[in-house]
Amino acid sequence: MMRNLLLNLSLIFALTGCTSWHHAELTRKTYTDLDLAENERLLHRTNKVTLQGYYADGASVVFEPDWRVTDDSTIIGTMRRISALGKPTTVNFTWNEIDIQGIELWRTSRNLNRNERALFGGSIFMAAVDIGVGIICLANPKMCFGSCPTFYQNESDHLFKSAAEGFTNAILPTLEHRDIDALPEVMLPGEERIVMKNEALETHNINEVVLFSVPVEAGSEVLHTVDDSFMRVTKGPQIEVSKHGQALEGIVESDGKEWFELASSEDLAAKTNLEIEFDAESGKNYGIKLLYRQTLMSTFLFYGTLENMGADYGRRMAIMNHSDKQKRWLIDGGIMQHLGHIEVKNAQGTSLGAFKETGPIAVNTQLLPIGKSNGRLSLELTQGLWRIDAIEVVEITEAVTPMVHRVKRIVKDQRSLPQEVSLLRDDSKHLVSMPGDSRALFFEPLEEPSHIFLASKGFYLEWTRTAWNDEGNPRALRKMLLQPRQYLRDEAQVYKTYEAEMEAKFWTSRIQNPILTSHEK
């Protein structure tokens, strides 16, 4: 008991410590690569660009605009140190030289120029004047488009046509993971091309993109399971889906018309249930096929967490990057444990497994094997958190092993980039993608028409909005940690004020034009 209390107290201190050097007029950008931070200073020579480097424990060093990087991996400039609790350890800045070893995240800060202030009102950081972003979104970051890399299977790049989104929860370097998504269309030999975009205010660090393929066989399809295996299935019995005895007819086949509910006005963790019935045959090996994605409730809560952290976001992310407990709290604990997944239960109420893919952009198509069944199941899910296009029962015939197709060519702005192909083929390196970037990825050839699955691996860093003010909201952070259930009740009415208009604002705030950065020079 005491041990848990101490752990919780340490997390509170880490999340709610303050810092004094930030200013609401500044624009801020976070990096894992010092070279990119230096490029920001070189690009804005007429602006004063300060630099802050974060160590794993949250301590940091802050440099005035006179800083420069030397050839032997040190930084020289007027600086002072900040403790792990965000407090300056010295009164004055002094000229010093430090080794960069041990610094894991970097953050530059500069003033918006006159044009940027006029266009954005200081509400977004590190943004060039040609970004097509809705003004309302900028004033309300909880509505802003947020996504990892988005992938398009065909020529259309319409915002509702993205075929997949990668590694949604990888918001820190140590949360990097591989994410597998089924692409909606069969791919033919000669069509091995995918467009990858960065459409949010994020820096994407992409370690790998590959295609998995399984040849098409008449009368069957191949599905990706919730535990990252692949199964060939055939059409199963017709099902009936109902809620409180009321039939939901449009949910039993894929037609792009999603079923969803509005959130509870009293509790964002309120649960709802869907009942499933079908004529089961003995000896059959069944599975549940689900086409689904999240609503924008997850976006609202995620950006709300960052807003509660305030301008001290960089320090807190540096701490979380090396704290397994805090990462679990951020991704699976706290409020997330009460929101839960889409859980499948049998007639006796025993859980058979769950669908867990996050993200509101692309529709996920996945399979949950359930084995034999008496034909009565239920789905338990958080009200207002999920959108479901279709629920189907299928018969599993066999497990399959896909072929792997790596990237062989990358084209950006009509130029082939062999150096980027090398990055995606080297497990120790990352391709860096900035807001507005778009690349065509060409893969090793298929031998025959195939079901295709895209695997992406990497992590991303959010760009800070100045609407996330200096102080943040330490009280809300403490409640998220110690009283997550109550926090979700308290936030219900706040979310309801956004819910009706979030969809329109979210989709219109995509970054469609490249942001000017010297990384591209």
Q: Where are the domains of the chain?
A: 2-146+308-330+462-520
**Each residue's pLDDT tens digit, 134-152:** 334 444 555 565 678 999 9
pLDDT at 511: 59
* Per-residue confidence band for 448, with pLDDT thresholds at 50, 70 and 90: very high
CA-based nearest residue to 378, from 271, 500, 226, 232? 271
CA distances from 333 to 68, 167, 330, 337, 483 (A): 41, 19, 6, 5, 12
Window from 221-225, 227-231, 459-463 with minimum mean pLDDT: 459-463
According to the model, what pLDDT value does residue 309 have? 82
Return the number of other C-beta atoms located less than 10 Å from residue 57's C-beta. 15
Question: Measured between alpha carbons, how far is 14 from 214 in angstroms, rounded to an integer?
Answer: 47
126 with 518: CB under 8 angstroms? Answer: no
Interacting residues of 440 by C-beta distance below 8 A, sequence separation 6+: 193, 194, 195, 196, 410, 411, 412
Calpha distance 137→450 (Å, rounded): 40
Cα end-to-end distance, the chain, whole Å = 55
Please check whether residue 137 is in contact with residue 509, taking contact to mean a CB–CB distance below 8 angstroms: yes
How distant is the alpha carbon of residue 112 from its chain centre?
Answer: 27
- Four-CA torsion 96, 101, 104, 105, nearest 10 degrees: 30
Please state, as a whole number, how many other Cβ atoms lie within 10 Å of the Cβ of residue 98: 16
What pLDDT, on the 0 to 100 scale, is given for residue 441?
97
Average pLDDT over residues 20-43: 61
Task: Provide mean pLDDT across the span 20-44.
Answer: 62
Q: If we measure between CA atoms, which residue out of 394, 520, 449, 487 comes closest to residue 191?
A: 449
Answer whether 140's CB lies under 8 Å from 498's CB.
yes
Longest dimension (CA), the chain: 78
Q: Of 212, 211, 155, 209, which is closest to residue 420 (Cα–Cα)? A: 209
Helix H or strand E segment including 470: none
Alpha carbons 269 and 486: distance in angstroms, whole number:
10
- Calculate the CA 439 to chain-centre distance: 19
Pairing of strands 342-346, 351-355: antiparallel
Quote the pLDDT of residue 215.
Answer: 98
Q: Specify the DSSP class assigned to residue 73.
A: S
Q: How does residue 220 score in pLDDT terms, banded at 50, 70 and 90?
A: very high
C-alpha span between 12 and 270 (Å, rounded): 26
Cα 509 to Cα 39, 149, 506, distances in angstroms:
26, 15, 5
Q: Could you tell me the two tokens for 248?
A: 């939901």
Residue of 169 and 355 predicted with greater confidence: 355
Q: How far lies 348's CA from each of 86, 229, 278, 345, in Å?
A: 52, 27, 16, 8
The pLDDT of residue 97 is 92
Q: Distance between CA 414 and CA 248 in Å, rounded? A: 48
Mean of pLDDT values over 196-218: 93
Please check the confidence at residue 12 and state whether its pLDDT lies above 80.
no
pLDDT tens for each residue of 463-514 = 766 566 566 788 888 888 889 999 999 999 999 988 877 776 666 556 565 5
- Summarize the confidence of residues 43-47 as an average pLDDT: 71
pLDDT > 70 fraction of the chain, expressed in percent and rounded: 80
